[in-house]
Chains A and B, each alone.
Chain A
Amino acid sequence: MPQSGEPNITAMVGFVLFIGLSLVITWIAARRTHNTRDFYAAGGSVTALQNGLALAGDYMSAASFLGIAGLVALSGFDGLVYSIGFLVGWPVVVCLIAEPLRNLGRFTFSDVVAFRLQQAPVRVAAAAGSLAVVAFYLIAQMVGAGNLIRLLFGLEYEVAVVIVGVVMLAYVLFGGMIATTWVQIVKAVLLLSGAFMLAMMVLARFSFNPLALFAAAANQYGPAVLAPGRLVSDPVDAISLGLALMFGTAGLPHILMRFYTVPDGRTARVSVAYATAIIGTFYLLTFILGFGAMVLVGQPAIRAVDAGGNMAAPLLAEVVGGQAFLGFIAAVAFATILAVVAGLTLAGAAALSHDVWVNVFRHGKATEREQMIVARSSTILLAVLSIVLGIAFKGQNVAYMVGLAFAIAASANFPALVLSMFWKKFTTRGAQASILFGTVATLLLIYLSPTIQVDLLHREAAVFPYRNPGLFTIPLSFAIGVLVSLMTPEPSAVQGFAKLEQQIHFGEP
C-alpha cells in the first residue's frame, strides 16, 4: 500500500480509463442536450433501472464506501449503525415524495413547493435551502476527494481538488443531466462489482460464511466488536442523528432532482425500489469489507496509513488481490467522488438558474437559449466555488459537514415539501418561514454544538449540548410552517390545492 501515496500503475490506468470513458459519455450526451429539459432532466427518458442505479450512484459517496468500511474496521458494529441510518430514509422517499414530486415539478423541488404559492418568495427561500445543502455536501466531498486522491495516487491535495473540479465541470457543463446520469450508472456498477468482488475474495478465506469472519474478528479483538460501542453514547444525539439521516434523504436536492429524469410517477416509484436494493446490498457488502479489513489487514496497519480508517478497503484489496486489484479499487473510489460531485453541482446550478434567475428575476419568462446560458454559467460558478472551498478547507475536519447537509435537508427542505403537497392551508409565508427557520436554526445549533465549540474552537463547553439538532429542528420547522400558515391565510393557495391534488395523481396535463 502507498505509504501516503506512491502512484500505482493499475490505479493510474483505471483512473485514466474512467476519465476517458466518462468524457466519451459526456461527448455523446452533449450531442443529445438541446434544451433545458435535456440539461436538467435528461429529457425525462431515463428508465426505472437506470434511475435506480443513478440514485444509488448519487447516494453511495466515497464517504459511504471508504468511510463506513473504515468505521467498521476500527470499531466493528458501530459502522452498521451508520449504514442503517443511510438506508431507512428510502421508504420515506418512495411513500411520500417520489411520485408527487415527479408529477408536480419539472427540474427542482422548489417547483413543487411553489406550485400553488407565490413563485418568487417561495423560490428564493427554497433555493437558499437547496444551496445550503449542496454547499456543505460539496465541501465535504471536495475535501474528502483531495485527501483520498493524495493517499491513493500520491497527487498533491490542491492538484487533486482542481482535477476533480475540472473533470466534473466538463461532465455537467457539456453533458448536463444525461452525462451525469450515465456517469452515475457506470460508477454505481463499478462500485457495486468492486465491492462484491472484494467481499467474495474475503469470504473465500472463511469458507463463504460471514459468521466465520465475524467470529474471527471477535477472537482477535474481543467480543466487543460485535456489540454497540462508544459511537452511540447519548440517546438524544443518537435519535437526533437518526431522524436527520432518515428525513434528510427525502430533502437532498441532487436526489430529488433524479425523479424528474424519469417519464412518470410509476417509473419514479419503481426506481426507488431498485435503488434501495442496490444501496442495501452495498452496505451489507461494506460491512463484510470492514470486518475483512479488521481481520486480514489488522487495525494497527489501517491506523498507520490513515487514522480515520479511510484506507481500510483499499488496504484490504491489496492484501486479497495484490497491487492490480488495489489499483482497481482506487480507481473506483475516484470515480465515486467525481460522480457525486457532478450530481451535486448540477442540483446547485438548477437552484441558481431555474429557481433564482428564471423564476424570480425573469418571472418565468426567459427563452430556452437564455436559460441554457444561465444554467451553464451557474455550473461554472459552482465548479469554481467548489475548487476554491475545497482548497480553503484543506486540513479541516469536515466530517460533520455531511451530517450538517442532511440536517438542513431534513429541517428546511423536507417539511416544506411535505406540507406543500399534502396540506391544503399551507401558505407562501408558511413555506418561507419553515424553510428559513430550518436552515438558520440548523446552522446556529451546529455552530453552538460541541462539534464546533469544543472540537474546532477548543472552548470549554458548548451552549447547545447536542451534536445533532434534527430532533429539535425538524418538528419545529413543521410547527412553524403550520403556525405561520394559519396566521396568514392565502385563498389562492387553497384554491390551487384541487389542481395540485389532481396533478399528483394524473401527472401533467
Chain B
Amino acid sequence: MTDTHARLARLSAARWRLAVILTAAMTAIYVGFTLLIAFNKPLLATVLVPGLSLGILLGVIVIITAWVLIMIYVRWTNRHYDAAVADIRRDHLHPTTQSPRGGDPGLHPTTQSPRGGDPGLHPTTQSPRGGDPGREGR
C-alpha cells in the first residue's frame, strides 16, 4: 500500500500548502491593518465620503477577507479534497476491486495498485465509510 501512502502524502501536502497560504494571508492582512492603525492614524482618519473613513472601510474589508479566505478553503476541500480522499480510501480498503460501491468512476485514477501490500497500514476491522461502532474503543 505504498501507493496509498504516497497519494495521501501528496494530497496532504496540497492541503497543507493551501492552509498555510490562507493562514499567512490572513495574518499578513491583519498585522498590516494593525500596523497601519499604530503608525498611520491620520491616513485611516481620511474621510472618503461623509460618514465613511478609510479606517472603517478597511476594517470591513478585513472582515470580508476572512469570509472569502474561509470560502476558498471550504470550496476547494468540498470539491477536490473530499473526492480525492474518498478515492484513495476506496482503493486502500478494496485494493483488488475497482470501485466496489460504484462511486464516481470519473475520479478513478488508472494507476491503481492491485496488490494488498503493507499490512501494517491496513486496519483489519475497517468499516467502509463513516462506520461508527469502533469509536468508543480507542
Contact = CB atoms under 8 A, between A and B. Distances in A.
Contacts of A263: 130
Interface string A124-144: 000000000000000000000
Interface stretch (A15-23, A188-196, A272-280, A326-334): A272-280
Contacts of A84: 30, 33, 59, 62-63
Contacts of B69: 91
Contacts of A83: 59, 63
Contacts of A362: none
Interface string A469-489: 000000000000000000000
Interface stretch (A392-400, A443-451, A497-505): A497-505
Contact of A87 (B66, B71, B85): B66
B126 A509 contact: yes
B9 to A, nearest CB: 7
Contacts of B8: 501-502, 505
B1 to A, nearest CB: 10
A: interface residue count bin:
35 or more
Interface in A336-371: none
Contact of B73 (A95, A227, A242): A95
A426 interface: no
Interface in A227-249: 227-228, 232-235, 238-239, 242-243, 246
Give the interface SS of chain A, mostly helix, strand, loop or mixed: helix
Interface stretch (B50-58, B97-105, B107-115): B50-58
Given A91-B22, A273-B70, A228 B55 contact: yes
A385 interface: no
A92 B23 contact: yes
B47 A96 contact: no
A37 B45 CA distance: 52
Contacts of A44: 132, 135
B134 A509 contact: yes
Interface string B70-105: 110110011000100100110010000000000000
Interface residues of B, number: 63
Contacts of B53: 77, 223, 226-227
B57 to A, nearest CB: 10
Given A91-B70, A280-B63, A266 B82 contact: yes
Contact of A226 (B11, B51, B67): B51
Contact of B47 (A226, A264, A277): A226
A94 B121 CA distance: 28
Interface in A56-89: 77, 80-81, 83-85, 87-88
Nearest to A43: B132
Interface string B23-59: 1001101110111011101101101011111011001
Given A226-B56, A228-B37, A228-B44, A211 B126 contact: no
Interface stretch (A146-154, A172-180, A212-220, A372-380): A212-220
Interface of B: 4-5, 8-9, 11-12, 16, 18-20, 22-23, 26-27, 29-31, 33-35, 37-39, 41-42, 44-45, 47, 49-53, 55-56, 59-60, 62-63, 66-67, 69-71, 73-74, 77-78, 82, 85, 88-89, 92, 121, 123, 125-126, 130, 132, 134-136, 138
